[in-house]
């Protein structure tokens, strides 16, 4: 939770979009701490499955700044009253001080009232009834003219019902009334949609999660951001969108040189200009592109000592839809029989545990203090425990959010902050994983075991039905 605010705070209500539920609170917390605006969050309600988060913020300026960055926050209202019934809300509205409501409710300003319910459908007639109740019982408050299309002020009555899969709840758990202040940045999801992206790969990160990752990494104007497993560069696009200079590496020469097999179903060959750079150009962000190098992320000597990044944001290979390989150390490579023949470095399997340890060691060395590492960790859910999260003495876990992919498979988005330099640690040691999730079976083996079990189960169900 962000620091407590000292001046008289204002109460706001943030309405989240209904997706990536585990990431919503963390995204907004990250944005608030990046903006440095003291805020107080009432997190309990969100934990109970509500799409609403009450926030105290110093002023509308900060409230709007938060909404300028969030993709999972849908709308923000100035919170005027809340209760468990519409009548309770109306009676609270009537007690609001004149100075608070006057700027938005005098005869000269138009308004509309929007009614929305969550986890329960109500008829249009019921919505109208609620609006009439508000208008008749709070006549002394809303004095202006009604304008449904372009009002000066939009007021919202929001009802949240506790989700119940068996019976439809009759009474709302919470009713809110607020003045609309700002929308979040849901439009970016359409603007940066992969469907219209010039260059995509098999595992390109979707626009929404790419933006969320950049927010968790607190990417800012003129930051220097790297993705060591860059692929088609989706994470560089979102970082550049927030003003960062971006660079990436990937071991796949063919992919970076537009020679890999196309990822779009109907496309036969890749066009020559399919590149990370052309993706940035597509969005007018080419001036933020530094370079993308064909390089092995396990080999870190190519980076000069003292080189620092503000953020590392990446989606390492899980070995399912793209291979996880690394270059074999030169001294272990077989000698070419034909002296003088072209040398192609040999590759070997890159174990997931090693990928993450290398990544954390890279972050510990090349992030600036306070810089963030944001990365995905694939999880076999039945085996998961906290000690599967890779650790490093210079990095602190800030967030750990789960995106379920099936009942047994998920991936966790881990956000770490660099808190000290390597030399400052009393007994310098590298990254470690207390319990390596993939020591016995690789993620690939666990993944296919889980997938074939699911197929067998569904076949059994089908056979039983027939
Ligand atoms: C999950 S994909 C990244 C997708 C990317 N975020 C995007 O939006 O397109 C992982 C990438 O890691 C690359 N890779 C695998 N082993 C690597 C290594 N040792 N060093 C660098 N990149 C590697 C793969 O070629 C693949 O492009």
* Tokens linked to 208: 């929404």
Q: Are residues 248 and 129 in the same domain?
A: no
Closest Cα to atom 27 of ligand 1:
231
With respect to residue 1, please indicate whether it lies within any of the assigned structural domains: no
Does residue 109 lie within any of the structural domains? yes
233, 239, 250, best to mutate for ligand 1 pocket (most atoms within 8 Å of CB): 250
Kindly state whether residue 237 falls inside one of the protein's structural domains: yes
In a domain, 453, yes or no: no
- Same domain for 90 and 213? no
Residue 231 to residue 251: CA distance in whole angstroms: 9
Domain that holds residue 144: 10-185
CB–CB of 431/391 below 8 Å? yes
Do 174 and 65 lie in one domain? The reply is yes
- pLDDT surpassing 60 at residue 7: no
Number of domains in the chain: 2
pLDDT (tens digit per residue) in 198-239: 999 999 999 999 999 999 999 999 999 999 999 999 999 999
306 and 429 housed in the same domain: yes
The residue that leads in pLDDT, 409 or 346, is: 409
pLDDT at 69 over 60: yes
Distance 399 CA to ligand 1 centre (A): 23
The confidence band for 463, taking pLDDT boundaries of 50, 70 and 90, is low
Kindly state the average pLDDT of the residues 242-261: 95
Ligand 1 contacts CB of residue 274 (under 6 A): no
Q: What is the DSSP string of 270-324?
A: --TT-SHHHHHHHTT-GGGEEEEEE--TT--TTSPTT--EEEEEE----SSSS--
Pair (211, 109) in one structural domain: no
**Which atom of ligand 1 lies closest to the CA of 376?**
1
Mean pLDDT of 119-148: 88
- The arithmetic mean of pLDDT across residues 41-51, rounded, is 82
Residue 387 sits in the same domain as residue 403:
yes
Instruction: Specify the pLDDT at position 2.
Output: 47
d(CA 426, CA 144): 67
Query: Ligand 1 in contact with 35 (CB < 6 A)?
Result: no
Q: What percent of the chain has pLDDT over 90?
A: 69
Q: Helix and strand tally (H, E) in the chain?
A: 13, 16
The answer to whether residue 456 sits within a structural domain is: no
Mean pLDDT in residue range 366-383: 96
How far, in Å, are 24, 187, 393 from residue 74 at the CA level? 10, 10, 37
Task: Report the pLDDT averaged over residues 87-109.
Answer: 90
User: Does residue 464 carry a pLDDT above 70?
Assistant: no
- 215/374 Cα distance (integer angstroms): 10
Tell me the C-alpha to C-alpha distance, in Å, between residue 427 and each of 145, 203, 361, 430: 70, 39, 15, 10
* Residue 431 confidence (pLDDT) above 50: yes
127 belongs to a structural domain: yes
Length of the chain: 466
CATH number at residue 176: 3.30.2130.30
As a whole number, the mean pLDDT across the chain is 90
- Ligand 1 centroid – CA 265 distance (Å): 21
Please state, in angstroms and rounded to a whole number, the distance separating the CA atoms of residues 205 and 209: 7
What is the Å distance from ligand 1's center to 370 Cα? 25
Residue that is last in its domain, among 185, 217, 232 = 185
Kindly state whether residues 38 and 26 are assigned to the same domain.
yes
Q: State how far the Cα of 248 lies from the Cα of 305, in Å rounded to an integer.
A: 18
Q: What is the CATH number of the domain that holds 379?
A: 3.40.50.150
Q: Are 226 and 181 found together in one domain?
A: no
Strand partners, 249: 293
Residue 454 — very low, low, confident or very high, per pLDDT cuts 50/70/90? confident
Whether ligand 1 lies within 6 angstroms of the CB of 235 is answered as: yes
Beta strands of 22-106 (E only): which ranges? 40-42, 52-57, 73-83
C-alpha distances (whole Å) from 327 to each of 202, 297, 332, 353, 442 are: 22, 9, 10, 16, 19
What is the 328 CA–ligand 1 centroid distance (Å)?
A: 17
137, 158, 185 - which closes a domain: 185
Residue 140 confidence class, pLDDT cut points 50, 70, 90 = low
Looking at the DSSP bridge assignments, the partners of residue 153 are 111
Asked whether the predicted pLDDT for residue 288 surpasses 50, the reply is: yes
Residue 234, both tokens: 């989706």
Assign 34 a pLDDT band (cuts: 50, 70, 90): very high
Contact 119, 83 (CB under 8 A): no
pLDDT > 70 in the chain, percent: 91
Q: Does residue 207 have its Cβ closer than 6 Å to ligand 1?
A: no
Ligand 1 atom with the shortest distance to the CA of 325: 16
Atom number, ligand 1, closest to the C-alpha of residue 230: 5
Distance, CA of 188 to CA of 208 (rounded, Å): 8
More confident residue, 97 or 443: 97
pLDDT at 367: 98
Residue 298 Cα, ligand 1 centroid: separation in angstroms?
12
Q: What is the pLDDT of residue 440?
A: 72
* 89 within a domain of the structure (yes/no): yes
Confidence label for 337 from pLDDT (cuts 50, 70 and 90)? low
With 60 as the cut, is the pLDDT of residue 5 above it?
Answer: no
Q: Which of 210, 213, 231, 260 to mutate to test the pocket of ligand 1 (most atoms within 8 A of CB)?
A: 231
Same domain as 311, residue 252:
yes
Q: Determine which helix (DSSP H) or strand (DSSP E) holds 461, and give its type and residue range.
A: helix 443-465
**Ligand 1 pocket, residue 326 CB under 6 Å:** yes
pLDDT of residue 38: 87
Q: What is the mean pLDDT of residues 15-31?
A: 96
Out of 169, 185, 201, a domain closes at 185
pLDDT of residue 335: 63
CA-CA distance, 269 to 203, in Å (whole number)? Answer: 18
**Helical residues (DSSP H) of 122-261, grouped into ranges:** 124-137, 187-191, 207-216, 234-241, 253-256
Ligand 1 pocket: which of 230, 312, 377 to mutate (most atoms within 8 A of CB): 230
The protein residue whose alpha carbon is closest to atom 1 in ligand 1 is 317
Q: How far is the CA of 56 from the centre of ligand 1 (A)?
A: 41
Distance in angstroms (rounded) separating the CA atoms of residues 61 and 50: 25
- Residue 26: closest CA among 50, 48, 56, 47: 47
Residue range 10-21: mean pLDDT, rounded:
96
pLDDT level of residue 339 (50, 70, 90 thresholds): low
Range of weakest confidence among 5-19, 35-49, 422-436? 422-436
**451 found inside a domain:** no
Atom of ligand 1 nearest to the CA of 200: 9
pLDDT of residue 438: 79
């Amino acid at each position: 939770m962000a620091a407590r605010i000292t001046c008289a705070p204002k109460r706001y209500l943030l309405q989240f979009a209904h997706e990536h539920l585990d990431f919503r609170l963390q995204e907004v917390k990250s944005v608030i701490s990046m903006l440095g605006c003291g805020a107080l969050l009432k997190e309990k309600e969100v934990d109970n499955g509500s799409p609403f988060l009450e926030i105290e913020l110093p002023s509308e300026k900060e409230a709007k700044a938060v909404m300028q960055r969030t993709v999972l926050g849908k709308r923000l209202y100035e919170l005027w009253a809340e209760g468990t019934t519409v009548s309770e809300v109306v009676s609270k509205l009537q007690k609001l001080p004149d100075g608070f409501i006057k700027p938005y409710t005098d005869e000269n300003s138009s308004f509309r009232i929007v009614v929305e319910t969550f986890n329960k459908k109500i008829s249009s007639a019921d919505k109208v009834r609620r609006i009439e109740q508000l208008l008749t019982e709070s006549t002394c408050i809303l004095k202006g003219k009604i304008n449904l299309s372009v009002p000066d002020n939009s007021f919202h009555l929001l009802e949240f019902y506790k989700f119940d899969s068996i019976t439809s709840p009759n009474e709302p758990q919470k009713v809110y009334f607020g003045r609309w202040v700002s929308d979040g940045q849901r439009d970016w999801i359409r603007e940066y949609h992969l469907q219209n992206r010039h260059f995509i790969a098999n595992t390109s990160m979707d626009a929404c999660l790419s933006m969320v990752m950049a927010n968790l990494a607190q990417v800012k104007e003129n930051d220097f951001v790297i993705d060591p497993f860059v692929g088609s560069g989706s994470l560089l696009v979102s970082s550049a969108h927030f003003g960062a200079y971006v660079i990436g590496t990937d071991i796949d020469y063919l992919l970076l040189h537009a020679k890999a097999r196309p990822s779009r179903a109907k496309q036969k060959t890749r066009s020559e200009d399919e590149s990370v750079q052309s993706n940035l150009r597509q969005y007018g962000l080419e001036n933020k592109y530094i370079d993308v190098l064909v390089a092995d992320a396990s080999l870190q000597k190519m980076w000069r000592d003292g080189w620092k990044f503000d953020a590392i944001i990446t989606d390492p290979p899980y070995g399912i839809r793209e291979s996880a390989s690394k270059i074999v150390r030169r001294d272990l490579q077989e000698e070419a029989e034909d002296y003088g023949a072209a040398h192609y470095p040999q590759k070997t399997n890159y174990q997931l545990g090693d990928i993450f340890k290398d990544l954390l060691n890279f972050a510990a060395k090349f992030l600036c203090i306070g810089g963030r590492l944001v990365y995905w960790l694939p999880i076999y859910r039945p085996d998961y425990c906290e000690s599967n999260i890779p650790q490093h003495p210079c990095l602190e876990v800030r967030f750990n959010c789960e995106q379920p992919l099936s009942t047994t498979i998920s991936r966790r988005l881990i956000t770490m902050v660099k808190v000290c330099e390597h030399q400052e640690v009393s007994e310098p040691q590298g990254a470690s994983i207390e319990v390596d999730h993939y020591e016995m079976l690789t993620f690939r083996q666990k993944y296919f075991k889980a997938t074939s079990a699911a197929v067998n189960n569904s076949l059994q169900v089908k056979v039983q039905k027939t």
